[in-house]
A and B are shown apart, each in its own frame.
Chain A
Amino acid sequence: MKPGPGPEKSAVTPAPQGAAVLPSGRAVPAGRAGTNIRRLENRAAYMFLIPWLAGLFGITIIPVTVSLYLSFTDYNVLSAPTWVGLENYEKLISGDRRYENSLWVTLKFVGYSVPLVLVFSLTVAVVLNRGLAGLAIYRSLFYVPSLIGASVGIGLLWYQVFGERGVFNDLLGLFGFEGRSWVTNPRYALSTVIALNVWTFGASMVIFLAALRQIPDSYYEAASIDGANGWQKFRRITLPLLTPVIFFNMVLLTIQSFQSFTQAFVISRGTGGPVDSTLLYTVYLYQRAFQHLEMGYASAMAWVLLIAIALFTALIFWSAKYWVFYGDK
């Protein structure tokens, strides 16, 4: 589409270094008119950003800072916070067995969930990408659990599925195994929460599918001519080219899993039980903050979580140079 004719058009000159530029990349005339347009654009941009800037400071930055302050205090909402120095953090490191336990539960949850989701989503995506008919239908159906998996309703269903008279035991019965109540058994309760998380692998799968479509067919054709078999093609072409997307999904899943709350909360009926076996970090934080009103302590927990997520993300980013393949290398 061409701009209509106008007097401005004839005034166009090449852009000097750093001069304001019209949307098309042509220079705004230098001199006072140019700086004016730049100033106008600057002001307009900040006007557009007002709601976001208000939220950035009011909803995000200031609360995060206040939260850091509260983590050094004893605060129960009703009376003013009192400064206690590092006491909350000292208690976190030594002296809170439930906290220590919640760390292990969370690490186990993340450590099992993320790899399992990656393996499932990648496998199903690769199978679907082999030119099977009905790809769109399969994709939608596999995505359905991701839509509803985070809801309270599915948590309630899960409690029944893995209950003593649940569907899972019916299935085991078919193979002659004797069932039990999985959700009320401390040894297995966390596994049911992990299973629910893995159940929602469809969202990652959709991302993998989109990435698989970007791999040119010619790569596979060339490999076929050289006599490569299916596994070799996957191992030598698909997998290396997918590493950036595996990396992306891994970061996303890790951040999400650390913050997982609803499913453990619902399956354990709000307790994190049995015997704290499903006491995820966020569930414990919720209990401390909103059931015991220990806002200072919970703030310290929140900051440790923030730093833990940052560290794990950084670790994945650091590891990327050893296994993520970018085409230009």
Chain B
Amino acid sequence: MATSKTTDAVAAPVFERSYDTEALAANRRRRRNKARAKKLGLHLILLGLLFVMLYPVIWMVFSSLRPENEIFADLGLIPDTWTLQNYITGWNLFGDKTFGVFFVNSFIICALAIIGNLVACSMAAYAFARLNFRFKWFWFALMLGTIMLPIHAQLIPQYVFFLKIGWVNTILPLVVPKFLATDAFFIFLMVQFMRSLPRELEEAATIDGATYWQRYWRIILPLTMPALATTAVFTFINTYNDFFGQLIYLTEIDKMTVPVALRLFLDPSGGTSSYGGMFAMVLVSIGPVLGFFLASQRLLVRGIATTGFK
């Protein structure tokens, strides 16, 4: 009797625990609720951080839509009276040269820079990724080295040279280097991509008598589309945002691009009196970058990730 009781006592908890589905379910529910609460907490923290980070931009959006004299009047975030007047003022702030001129100048430079980078970088990348030639690794190492080189080390002789041949205040110093594949970063990006393409395609074309140029143009380039698109987007953003180069080479007002023109707001005697106009133009100026990003964001994010550490 006694022995059977002890065995019962030992066996009972095990027996109970493994078959008490209700307790198990409650336990699972409690754990799931805890995990859910934790996730909710994380969401709140992330949203809070995002709100703080993006608040200045949100504030600028509303400020640009209220009358000039209300911007710093502590009236809360949302304007009482809505107006587009700041956009009109800002657009025409610099006399007969409106922001339309600056945007056209910026877009011309961006378009040519994109074409230059796509053509020149992909040609170099094709040679590095798919062809064998003498001193290949020497050139490749040199190419990687130029990625890290600070532009300041080349800047002054370049400037003097472009000045002497009369290229200052033209778009040429900003555009011609792109056609010479000086953005080696994009060569590297495309080399990485082209290396992963199957060799058999090119071989089939070779047997059919395709030249090297045809292999590059007809076979490799179409397959490299994702890397080309990434290059185009990044080139646009970098060129559009570039300030240093444009500041140095474009000094006449009708040649100015958007960033150089925005700089005129810095001038105490210039447009700083119109904060509303300035905010409006800042917002208009970041519009194209955000638009490009939204249109291509999946591609872009993947691009950063692959160039990042592959």
Interface residues of A (CB under 8 A from B): 1-4, 6, 8-9, 20-25, 38, 40-42, 44-49, 51-52, 54-56, 58-60, 62-64, 66-67, 70, 77, 124, 127-128, 130, 132-134, 136, 138-145, 147-148, 150-154, 156-158, 160-161, 165, 167, 170, 199, 203, 206-207, 209-211, 244-245, 248, 255, 258-259, 261-262, 265-266, 269-270, 282, 285-286, 289-290, 295, 298-299, 301-303, 305-306, 309, 313
CB distance from A291 to the nearest CB of B (A): 11
The distance in angstroms between the C-alpha atoms of A295 and B237, with both chains bound, is: 30
CB distance from A177 to the nearest CB of B (A): 16
Q: Any chain A CB within 8 A of the CB of B252?
A: no
The distance in angstroms between the C-alpha atoms of A141 and B180, with both chains bound, is: 35
**Contact flag A248-B309 (CB < 8 Å), given A45-B131, A60-B154:** yes
Q: Which of B4-12, B22-30, B37-45, B81-89 contacts A (4 or more CB under 8 A)?
A: B37-45
| Contact in complex: A24, B203 (CB < 8 Å) | yes
Interface residues of B (CB under 8 A from A): 39, 42-43, 45-46, 49-50, 53-57, 59-60, 72, 74, 119-121, 123-124, 126-127, 130-134, 136, 139, 142-143, 146, 148-161, 163, 177, 179-182, 187, 198-204, 206-208, 212-213, 216, 237, 241, 243-244, 248, 258-260, 262-263, 265-266, 268, 275, 278-279, 281-283, 285-286, 289-290, 293, 297-298, 301, 304-306, 308-309
Residue with the highest number of chain A CB atoms closer than 10 Å, among B56, B136, B206, B301:
B56
| A9, A25, A42, A299: the one within 8 Å of B133 (CB) | A42
Question: For the complex, would chain B's binding face be called helix, strand, loop or mixed by DSSP majority?
Answer: helix
Contact partners of B57 in chain A: CB under 8 A: 157
| Contact in complex: A203, B157 (CB < 8 Å) | no
Contact partners of B244 in chain A: CB under 8 A: 261-262, 282, 286
Contact partners of A258 in chain B: CB under 8 A: 150
Contact partners of B202 in chain A: CB under 8 A: 23
The distance in angstroms between the C-alpha atoms of A25 and B132, with both chains bound, is: 12
| B130, B290, B298, B308: the one within 8 Å of A207 (CB) | B308
Question: For the complex, would chain A's binding face be called helix, strand, loop or mixed by DSSP majority?
Answer: helix
Q: Tell me the nearest residue of chain A to B139, going by C-beta.
A: A49
The distance in angstroms between the C-alpha atoms of A255 and B43, with both chains bound, is: 33
**Contact flag A306-B150 (CB < 8 Å), given A44-B212, A67-B157:** yes
**Contact flag A24-B199 (CB < 8 Å), given A49-B139, A309-B148:** yes
